[in-house]
Amino acid sequence: MLHFLSVQLMVLLTTSVYMEVPPSGSKVRIIIESRMGKQTHEGVIISPAGNGLVTIKLQNGYNLSHPLEGIDSIELIENPKESFESENTKTENDMNQDLPLVILLHTGGTIASKVDYETGAVIARFEPDEILDSVPELRPIARIEAVLIGNMFSDDIRPRHWNQMIEQTEAAFERGAKGVVITHGTDTMGISAAALAFSWSGDGGRPPGPIVFTGSQRSSDRGSSDARENLIAAIYLAGHGLNPSGNGDSTMIVMHENSSDGVLSILPGISTRKMHSSSRGAFKSIDIGELGRITVEGSDCSIEMIRDTGEQRPIGKPTLFDESISIAEIIAGPHLRSEHITALASTKPNAIHVHGTGLGHLPISDPNGDSPENPDVQRALNLYIEDGGIVVMSTQTVFGPVHLDVYSKGREQQEMGIIGHGSVGPPESSLVKLHYLLSRFSNENSKIKSIWSTSLCGEIIDIQ
């Protein structure tokens, strides 16, 4: 791990003269030799992109790396604004005690990735202090301490990692943090954000301060990366935003509002989904709507909250998820067959979570008498429910509620014992709520069914 100490690198150039490379965070002017002749560049020294390179962040946000032996001179323009101390997994900027303390929990993902120029692939390589070093705009915003949970791409994250994040957020607030930022891969960031929201507020409480998730769609060393502004906005919101009410804002996701720079959305962690595989403005709140937005210009940020989440709940304690819980997921559609359900049921899952069609439907009817597979699906689900299993319905549609009262099929599904009526938000949030309830009320299926339609932390609202 790189250390943010005042370290000077001595480089022997071909002229046999040693050159001092100022420490990370220094503003410099370098003159380099290139095919176009001598060129001059100004920027801030950051962690080098590879061995034998000097890397600076230019004013336009791009990174410039150049071989040491090709540099004619390095002129120091300005010393680092802050000195950093590094101690194993954490780095704290304590130069200005008037700044709020924000603890950065690092799990990995594209925000912590860069291109491996040997293979061309994006790999998770940045350590927490490297991220802080590459974004000097963070220094006047907050005192920052970084804790390394892992360097994982988010598709590898499991409920055990939710618990690690939960425990670290609790520890952060206990040591006096104003807020917490969790850097996370974007693919499953909405799931983890929902998990921490239910953990902190599912029983009626709230976290002591903001818990903000952020990531990036482009790796941090690309000129088109959204990582820089996402991180600045997230740190600012955690350090200067209002404390949550616990009713829809227990966790928040901060990402670019669209493809342009400067404006970022504040989204409720309980109802946010990644809507595009690569666009910078990929995240949208499903059904509930955004909480606000942040405007970023360098270190200058402004917060505009556009949704009132109501009266603050009392500060609570988080609930951990039972990591032994097993939930099987199925997708309703023309290829769903009873043997698929039977095979899943044979693994003894605690529940089956269904991504239903439309308002939350399954292929269980055979009006033409030519599709016996459909009644077979119903029989397989009936057997699972009769054996004590829980079946929860969500919907594949992007927006809108699960509404099992509209059609006779929905009413029939409710008579079977399928729950989920009234749910809104993405299926991922429904899945997390199911796991949370199973963790709290193990072997109390009737209680889970009775409180499913209750809004525990703002995840259910009235919509048309």
CATH code of the domain in which 176 resides:
3.40.50.1170
Which of the residues are catalytic? Answer: 110, 186-187, 274
Band (pLDDT 50/70/90 cuts) for residue 254 is very high
Tokens of 162: 């939710």
The 3-state DSSP class for residue 449 equals helix
pLDDT of residue 35: 64
E-strand ranges in 166-314 read: 179-183, 211-214, 252-256, 263-268, 272-274, 283-285, 292-297, 300-305
In a domain? residue 3: no
* Structural domain includes residue 180: yes
If asked whether residues 111 and 174 sit together in one domain, one would say yes
| Claim to verify: residue 265 and residue 359 sit in the same structural domain | no
Distances (CA, A) of 369 to 9, 365, 372, 375: 79, 9, 7, 10
Strand (E) or helix (H) holding 45: strand 37-46
Nearest CA among 177, 165, 184, 234 for reference residue 209: 177
- 65 exposure class (CB count in 10 Å sphere: 0-12, 13-18, 19+): middle
- pLDDT given for residue 70 in this prediction: 81
Q: Please write the tens of the pLDDT for every residue from 361-390.
A: 999 999 999 999 999 999 999 999 999 999
Q: Is residue 115 part of a domain?
A: yes
Residue 422 lies in a domain: yes
Domain boundary among 18, 47, 78: 78
Q: Are residues 70 and 93 in the same domain?
A: no
Mean pLDDT along residues 254-280: 92
More confident residue, 200 or 221: 200
Span 177-195, average pLDDT: 96
pTM score over 0.85: no
The answer as to whether 463 is a domain residue is no
Are residues 128 and 51 part of one domain? no
User: Residues 259, 144: one domain?
Assistant: yes
Q: Are residues 278 and 399 in the same domain?
A: no
> Which of the pair, 79 or 163, is modelled with greater confidence?
163
Looking at the domain assignment, is residue 461 inside a domain?
Answer: no
**214 and 117 assigned to the same domain:** yes
Q: Is residue 236 part of a domain?
A: yes
Mean pLDDT in residue range 131-148: 83
Write down how long the chain is: 464
Quick check: is 261 in a domain? yes
For the chain, give percent helix, strand, coil, nearest 5: 25, 30, 50
Asked if the model's pLDDT at residue 14 lies above 60, the reply is: no
Strand runs labelled E in 125-278: 143-148, 179-183, 211-214, 252-256, 263-268, 272-274
State whether 114 and 244 are in the same domain: yes
Q: Are residues 183 and 295 in the same domain?
A: yes
CATH number of the domain at 65, please. Answer: 2.30.30.520
Q: Is there a single domain that holds both residue 71 and residue 102?
A: no
pLDDT of residue 79: 86
pLDDT at residue 110 tops 90: no
Q: How far apart are CA 132 and CA 146, in angstroms?
A: 9
Is there a single domain that holds both residue 107 and residue 213? yes
Of 288, 293, 242, 282, the closest CA to residue 269 belongs to 288
- As a whole number, mean pLDDT of residues 255-283 equals 92
Average pLDDT score, the chain: 86
Together in a domain, 180 and 266: yes
110 with 185: CB under 8 angstroms?
yes
Winning range, highest mean pLDDT, from 82-96, 116-130, 211-225, 430-444? 430-444
Instruction: Report the number of distinct structural domains present in the chain.
Output: 3
What residues make up the domain containing 13? 9-78
